[in-house]
Homo-oligomer: A and B are copies of this chain.
Amino acid sequence: MSGVLAPVVTPFDGGLRPDARRFAGHCRWLLDQGCGLAVFGTNSEANSLALRERMELLDSLVAGGIDPVRMMPGVGTCAIPETVALTRHALDHGVGGVLMLPPFYYKGVSDEGLYRSYAEVIERTADERLRIYLYHFPQMSAVPLGVDLIGRLLRDFPGIVVGMKDSSGDAANLERVLEAFPGFALFAGTESLLLANLRLGGAGCISATANINPAAIVDLYQGWRSAPADELQAQLDAIRQTMQQYPLLPALKTVIAHYADDPEWDRVRPPLVELTAEQGASLIAELDALGFAMPGVGCGGGAGPSVR
């Protein structure tokens, strides 16, 4: 897999239940913009979803005709049996790959322990269709994945461990990993490092803000060898920096709610908290001032037939 993927935000209804219809609508809109679907990532609030909720949402997307080949669902949990269950379920739907956090409760664990975690999941899953993208997000998981560990996994599981999402925000780490493993499908965790990552030989980006600004990010991906690439990158950065002044995940939902004219989007599950009305108004004013828009968003979600 390569290109631009969004960790698709998960809408909730008034009872904080996942809203499969709006979720599918947003996925369709993202695909129309040329953006792949990293459903059940950090910005999807996947770790606030029950195992069964994740499976049912994936079932409903596929039943609704959304192409699983464009999906890279997050499947990493704290417990090996649950990671295996999610992985098998995703593979049975024919997904293009899976994004796998390490077990993230125990801190200060050794590379040997992390290696055994991934190896155990691979052996138990026992499916030749398995394509794992490791998920390195030290600020959130507090369980970093270093070059030694990646190297050992690539050596022992070639063709299965195929890439990584690096959400560290550290350009030097992209360089370190791609120097060590040329051809490794490395995704930056933010579009602010998309051009840098592509110039280093990386595969693209999986970025929260691809939920709201997918077409422009895809434009940079497709045109990164062209003259105005640095200018495109600067335009993306302006939007990203505006978003990052607010708690990013609830800010994404506020932005979708506004531009889709669908206030139902503006809900998060605890422990997250939605933006205040003041924060929301200020964020929208800043985006409007940048000429930001989300053409077509919400049309496939708020009004279409249910997929369940």
Q: Which residues of A come within 8 Å of B, CB atoms?
A: 16, 42, 47-51, 53, 78-82, 85, 102-107, 109-110, 112-114, 116-117, 119-120, 139-143, 269-273
Contacts and interface: CB of A to CB of B under 8 A. Distances in A.
A50 B82 contact: yes
A109 B272 contact: yes
A104 B107 contact: no
A140 B48 contact: no
Contact of A273 (B53, B82, B113, B139): B113
Contacts of A116: 270-271, 273
29 contacts: A47-B79, A47-B105, A48-B78, A48-B79, A48-B105, A48-B106, A49-B81, A50-B82, A50-B85, A80-B269, A80-B270, A102-B271, A103-B270, A105-B140, A105-B141, A106-B272, A107-B140, A107-B142, A109-B271, A109-B273, A112-B273, A113-B271, A113-B273, A114-B270, A114-B271, A116-B270, A116-B271, A117-B271, A119-B270
Contacts of A47: 78-79, 103, 105-106
A117 B51 CA distance: 18
A278 to B, nearest CB: 15
Contacts of A270: 80, 103, 113-114, 116-117, 119-120
B102 A51 contact: no
Please tell me how many copies of the chain the complex holds. 2
A110 B50 contact: no
Contacts of A112: 273
Nearest to A114: B271
Contacts of A104: 105
Contacts of A119: 270
A110 B273 contact: yes
- Closest 3 pairs between A and B when the two form their complex, measured CB to CB: A47-B105, A113-B271, A116-B270
A269 B103 CA distance: 11
A16 B117 CA distance: 12
A86 B140 CA distance: 25
Contacts of A117: 270-271
Contacts of A80: 16, 48, 269-270
A102 B82 CA distance: 20
Nearest to A249: B106
